Amino acid sequence: MQERIIYFDHAATTPLKKEVLDEMMPYLTEQYGNPSTIYKLGREAKKAIELARERVAKALNAEVQEIFFTSGGTESDNWALKGVAFANKDKGKHIITTTIEHHAVLHPLKYLEGLGFEVTYVPVEPNGIVDPQKVKEAIREDTILISVMLANNEIGTIQPVKEIAKIAKERRIIVHTDAVQAVGQIPVDVKDLGVDLLSLSAHKFYGPKGVGALYIKKGTKIHPFSHGGAQERNRRAGTENVAGIVGLGKAIELATANLTEYASRLQKLRDKLIDGVLSKIDYVRLNGDRYNRLPSNANFSFEFIEGESLLLMLDMKGIAASSGSACTSGSLDPSHVLLAIGLEHEVAHGSLRITLGEDNTEEDIDYLLEVLPEIVSRLREMSPLYEKVKKGGR
Amino acid sequence: MYSEKVLEHFMNPRNVGEIEDANGVAQVGNPKCGDIMKMYLKIENGIIVDAKFKTFGCGAAVATSSMATEMVKGKTIEEALQITNKAVAEALDGLPPNKLHCSVLAEEAIKAAIEDYLSKQKQQTQN
């Protein structure tokens, strides 16, 4: 009998949906044509890619020719940032972002800094949300790009991208948003948001891994990502991942079709989880704004314990979750996001991220609420930091 | 990532707790880095008769603490001082490279607790 796993790590990845796989299968087997070829097999593959492009465009309220397929969120972010920076460097070399962006944004920006670009990292408020006014204050004469994520991958907070884009437009500054965590969770409309570029990744909404898309608003000055063949309208050379793209198209269509119902169900489960943890366990805090967060995300810090130990013990109980702990990454520093919202290092080490998905039920939450207090208590009994608290000190 | 032995020691750590009348106690590590080990030793006639620990840290930190306390029990001070982080890691069937610092902490905890015992002994003789 297969051991039951309760999966609470949907921000890391989601399982591929059967309907998505079914649409992908022919393009992995009999429909193997290269979409750049002119015979029927190739034409069929090309047609499948264009259908996927239409589906992505529809889901984002974009134009079909504004959608470009990539290998995932990281590539989309890299392309957006480097592509805009290189293409607009005659106008200026200043870029604005926030301190809680994903490494797929922060690391390319570090790279650009090495090439002479200047980056302002706007800090977020203690609730994990950036103040648009602070972004406005960071704007300079030579600012060419603002990149602010739509929803944070660790604490789930939703950022005021629409307001930021409005401010940027007054100064004709290009705006990019990393919407990797947001698509399939909250409505994402590029026209309503007013952004010029938007990154997404298929495996975050029950699609395949290794495929994503970048929305590039018509008229946005950007360099191609790769040079070679004429694929993706000469902007991203390389034979297309046909099956992956087909999967992305189907997955985004499904994810946006029942979004309200899906989000409302997850939000109820999330709220039950948050209320349960906060009432059953002491010395715990919820990271990120209580309400302005993704319906699937709950992120806690348990004082006096370390996140990886917590994850291992949860794993022994059949629960897969994530942590803001540094131990899993090999670095001694805990998550930059948790530090950015003002957590002390030792508190940030004891963090747990629960991200819900389609298969989670109320019973899963009940089970977590049953085992989590025991585990936290067991680890605290082992902790010299908690020993101090029990003896009346800190 | 972790050996079966590391996981076994993590799930069933030996010697967790405090020793009321410990005569060698030390705490090493830093909460900022995510690892603290507190080691309690009971030493009689130069022999470690009991060892316990409390640890704030990852799975490897707990497992190395557990193994280190097992390894020192019954040993003379001199023998215990010879225990290296490598020996602790080997006794656990190895540690991932990024977790080797946990075994270093275990070695440091043993040495610091013995040092505490020796300094107390010295003080007693001086008094």
The stretch B42-60 carries a mean pLDDT of 96
Residue A380: CA count within 13 A, CB half-sphere: 17
Catalytic residue among A87, A327, A339, A385: A327
A376: which chain B residues are within 8 Å (Cβ-Cβ)? none
pLDDT at A248: 98
Phi, psi for residue B61 in degrees, rounded to 5: -65, -40
Give the H/E segment covering residue B105.
helix B100-126
- Architecture of the domain delimited by A258-391: Alpha-Beta Complex (3.90)
Cβ atoms of residues A176 and A145 within 8 Å: yes
pLDDT at A332: 65
Beta-carbon contacts of residue A162 (< 8 Å; ≥ 6 apart): A192, A193, A194
Domains detected in chain B: 4-120 (3.90.1010.10)
Order across the sheet with A118-122: list the strands: A67-70, A212-216, A197-201, A174-178, A143-147, A94-98, A118-122
Cβ atoms of residues A238 and A225 within 8 Å: no
Cα separation, A386 vs B7, in Å, equals 23
Cβ atoms of residues B39 and B110 within 8 Å: yes
pLDDT at A330: 56
Segments making up each domain of chain A, as ranges: 18-257, 258-391
Q: Which residue has the tokens 């590391």?
A: B6
The answer to whether B98 faces chain A, any CB pair under 8 Å, is yes
pLDDT at A3: 72
Closest CA of chain A from B118, distance in Å: 23
The predicted-structure confidence for B61-108, as pLDDT tens digits, reads as follows 999 999 999 999 999 999 999 999 999 999 999 999 989 989 999 999
Cα separation, A200 vs A204, in Å, equals 8
Q: Which residue has the tokens 């590590």?
A: B29
A306: which chain B residues are within 8 Å (Cβ-Cβ)? 34-35, 56-58, 61
Q: Which two tokens stand for residue A231?
A: 């694929």
Inspect the interface and report whether the beta carbons of B56 and A306 lie closer than 8 Å.
yes
Q: Which of B82, B42, B25, B35 is nearest to B62 (CA)?
A: B35
Inspect the interface and report whether the beta carbons of B33 and A345 lie closer than 8 Å.
yes
Cα angle at B39 between B64 and B62, to 5 degrees?
25
Q: Which two tokens stand for residue A108?
A: 């390319």
Smallest Cβ–Cβ distance between A316 and the set B11, B58, B60 belongs to: B11
Residues that constitute the known binding site of A: 73-74, 153, 181, 201-203, 239, 327
Q: B33 catalytic, yes or no?
A: yes
The pairing of strands B35-44 and B47-56 is antiparallel
Q: Which of residues 251-310 of A touch B (CB under 8 A)?
A: 304-306, 308-309
The pairing of strands A67-70 and A94-98 is unpaired
Q: Helix and strand tally (H, E) in chain B? A: 5, 3
Closest CA of chain B from A360, distance in Å: 27
Residue type at A176?
A: H
Residue type at A148?
A: V
pLDDT at A326: 59
Mean pLDDT by 10 residues, chain A (394 residues): 82 98 98 97 97 98 98 98 98 98 97 98 98 98 98 98 98 98 98 98 98 98 97 96 98 96 97 98 97 98 95 96 69 86 93 97 98 97 88 71
CATH number of A18-257: 3.40.640.10
pLDDT at A1: 47
Catalytic residue among B22, B48, B83, B102: B102
Tell me the Cα Rg of chain A.
22
pLDDT at A4: 75
Residues that constitute the known binding site of A for pyridoxal 5'-phosphate: 73-74, 153, 181, 201-203, 239
Residue of B nearest to A385 (CA): B56
pLDDT at B13: 96
Average pLDDT value over all residues in chain B: 94
Q: B58 catalytic, yes or no?
A: no
B95: which chain A residues are within 8 Å (Cβ-Cβ)? none
Secondary structure (H, E, C), chain A? CCCCCEECECCCCCCCCHHHHHHHHHHHCCCCCCCCCCCHHHHHHHHHHHHHHHHHHHHHCCCHHHEEEECCHHHHHHHHHHHHHHHCCCCCCEEEEECCCCHHHHHHHHHHHHCCCEEEEECCCCCCCCCHHHHHHHCCCCEEEEECCCECCCCCEECCHHHHHHHHHHCCCEEEEECCCCECCECCCHHHHCCCEEEEEHHHHCCCCCCEEEEECCCCCCCCCECCCCHHHHCECCCCCHHHHHHHHHHHHHHHHCHHHHHHHHHHHHHHHHHHHHHHCCCEEECCCCCCECCCEEEEEECCCCHHHHHHHHHHCCEECECCCCCCCCCCCCCHHHHHCCCCHHHHCCEEEEECCCCCCHHHHHHHHHHHHHHHHHHHHCCHHHHHHHCCCC
The answer to whether A393 faces chain B, any CB pair under 8 Å, is no
The predicted-structure confidence for B2-38, as pLDDT tens digits, reads as follows 999 999 999 999 999 999 999 999 999 988 778 899 9
**A-B C-beta contacts closer than 8 Å:** 69
